[in-house]
Amino acid sequence: MIRERPAIEPDIAPGNDLVNMIARTDQKCRSWREKLGWIDHLLSDDTFELNTEQLIYLAIYLRFIGTGRNTLY
CA-nearest of 53, 66, 54, 65 to 29 is 65
User: Domain locations in the chain?
Assistant: 16-66
Q: pLDDT digit string (tens) for 12-58? A: 445 578 888 998 999 898 889 999 999 999 889 888 788 899 999 99
What's the start-to-end Cα distance of the chain, in Å?
A: 24
Q: Is the pTM of this model over 0.85?
A: no
